[in-house]
Amino acid sequence: MLALTTLKLGVNRLEGYLPGSLGDLPKLNFVSAYLNQFSGIEPNFSRCRNLKYLALSYNQLSGEFPQFLWDVIGLEYIDLHNNNLSTMGPSHVVSNSFLRELQLANNSLNGEFPTSLIHCKKLVVLNFEGNKLSGELPKWIGDKLQSLAILQLRSNLFHGEIPSELSQLPALHVLDLSKNKFSGNIPPDLGSIASMKNKTQFVVSRDYKIWRPRFLKWKGNYYSFPANSYLTTIDLSSNHLSGQIPQDITTLLGLKVLNLADNSIGGNIPTTIGNMQQLESLDLSMNRLTGPIPPSLGYLTFLSWLNVSYNNLSGPIPTGPQLQTLNDPSMYRGNVWLCGPPLSSKCSADNNHETPNEHKNDDHPYNIIIFSSSIILGFILGFWGVVGVLALNTSWRSRYFYFIDCAQSRCFRSN
């Protein structure tokens, strides 16, 4: 038993605490106990000095993140996603300088971004998606976590501006900040992320295997991708971003997924977007973009998903061998000034104008909702305004019915 190196307890109905007596197994380096009913980990579990991998996802862990895990010196992988942890606990000096991957998605973590992580200088993967973390994203991430390759913070409550210091992460190839409350402009410095600049595949880490598959938004839906796949991604969708799309973003020649949907971004689509030859998925929908769709978009030979719906774009839709295979009109919906295939509206000689700045897209879903609500509210107020007065005022009610009787009498006499 003392020679045990691997312990797999996954997909059972085990309850209680993961026993700390496992720390008495000197060669134990791999523990997987996902999909059980464990409610905690015994503190003396920290004696597992040779442990490198710990997976307790889909259990019933609650309360504070087990602080003693920071003291398991050689621990490289911690996966506690899909539990009910509520806090990361107080700021803690992390003894473990070997941590490479921290998976805490889909818990109930609140508070600000944990400052404990400032000591995890070898961290490659950090996944906090689906929690309740708030506050501003600290600038020190770009300076202290230089090995970070995957940063997934989707579906939290972070606000403030996106730190331009994230561009200092040389290995970053997945940046997912979607479904938060970030505001301000998109930092132009994101166009200098080293791992996204080159068309060749970027090696995340030569001495570390990323364990868990990634869930990313791809072609409008979320899919699972192999852990070590090279799907370079920037997803800033569903925030409160404004300003324009920085021209520098189009210098990311290795970027494959760009999602800026559901913000308040205005201005034109950069004319140099055709330089992003590796781009496979582009979503700019639900913004305030104006002007034409750049002809260079037709040069993107790998593009298999495009959505520019509900903007104020104008002019003819560009053509290109790959772009013409994307013949779904819904990807252009809500741009009343666009013309040409696959839309039914044909372009005329003067269709190359830009939509006037004062033009408002009445086909935008928000406008449709507001218009429909106004009609319903007007009807309710009008109806009850008349009925309510007649019900409360006896003299007015008598005069109203007297008027109806007189009108009917004149009508019958005329017939």
- Tokens of residue 62, six digits: 């609650």
Query: What tokens does 54 get?
Result: 């710990």
Instruction: Note the pLDDT tens digit of each residue in 282-333.
Output: 999 999 999 999 999 988 999 999 999 999 999 999 988 888 888 899 999 9
Helix (H, G, I), strand (E, B) or coil at 5: coil
Strand partners, 242: 185
Q: E strands of 115-210, at which residues?
A: 125-127, 132-136, 150-152, 157-160, 174-176, 181-185
Query: How far is residue 248's CA from residue 332's CA, in Å, rounded to a whole number?
Result: 25
Cα-based torsion angle of the residue sequence 165, 167, 172, 174 in order, rounded to the nearest 10 degrees: 90
Query: Which token pair is 220?
Result: 């409008």
- Distance, in Å, from the CA atom of 223 to the CA atom of 278, rounded to the nearest integer, reads 19
The 10s digit of each residue's pLDDT in 210-252 is 655 555 555 556 555 555 556 899 999 999 999 999 999 999 9
Average predicted confidence (pLDDT) for the chain: 83
CB 221 within 8 A of CB 165: no
Q: What is the pLDDT of residue 327?
A: 86
Alpha-carbon distance of 264 to 104, in angstroms, equals 30
Answer whether residue 357 shows pLDDT above 90: no
Q: What is the pTM of this model?
A: 0.81
